[in-house]
Amino acid sequence: MTPASRLPGMLYWLMGDLSHAGTPAPALIILVLVCLLVFPLGRSLNVLARGPMQAAALGVSVRPLEWLIYLLASVLTATAVTMAGSVGFVGLVVPHMLRLVLGNDQRLILPACALAGGGLLVLADALARVVIAPEQLPVGVITALVGVPTFLYLLYRSR
């Protein structure tokens, strides 16, 4: 029996863990649908990054685009939290690190974040399963151990 399975349900969900993740089909369907909606918006998001006034001057419908992005981000966040609980720092660290490597082009960053975020979570889960085997750490502990120093470095670097 893993430590997560001995924890009360709410505490397990708050710590974030993948050992009790259910069938991935609904989450994959939602991910594919959202990606199909977001990837074509890369150019508009690049323009919006310059500021709302510049984007509006260049023909981007700023308010509907912002609402669509808020809605899609909320759907993806709700889906991820439903599947794995509250796993922190993946959504903060991965995009910032990829921007350092790839630049700020949303047409590259969006698919790269989807792949790198999933990859980081798989690596963190694998590490959580073997660090104190046969017991298992919640994956949120591993992502926090990686994410906090990385995020502090990024904050220090931006000064």
Q: pLDDT tens digits for 100-145?
A: 899 999 999 999 998 999 899 889 989 988 998 888 888 888 888 8
Would you call 136 helix, strand, or coil by DSSP? coil
Q: pLDDT tens digits for 20-70?
A: 777 888 889 999 999 999 999 999 999 999 999 999 999 999 999 999 999
Please state the pTM of the whole predicted model: 0.80
Domain count, the chain: 1
Instruction: Give the whole-angstrom CA distance, residue 122 versus residue 55.
Output: 37
Question: Which residue range(s) make up the domain with 113?
Answer: 3-157
Amino acid at 128: A
Instruction: Give the whole-angstrom CA distance, residue 25 versus residue 102.
Output: 30
DSSP letter string, 40-105: GGHHHHHHHTT-HHHHHHTT--HHHHHHHHHHHHHHHHHHHHHHH----SHHHHHHHHHHHHH-S-
CATH of the domain at 138: 1.10.3470.10
Instruction: Give the whole-angstrom CA distance, residue 50 versus residue 89.
Output: 26
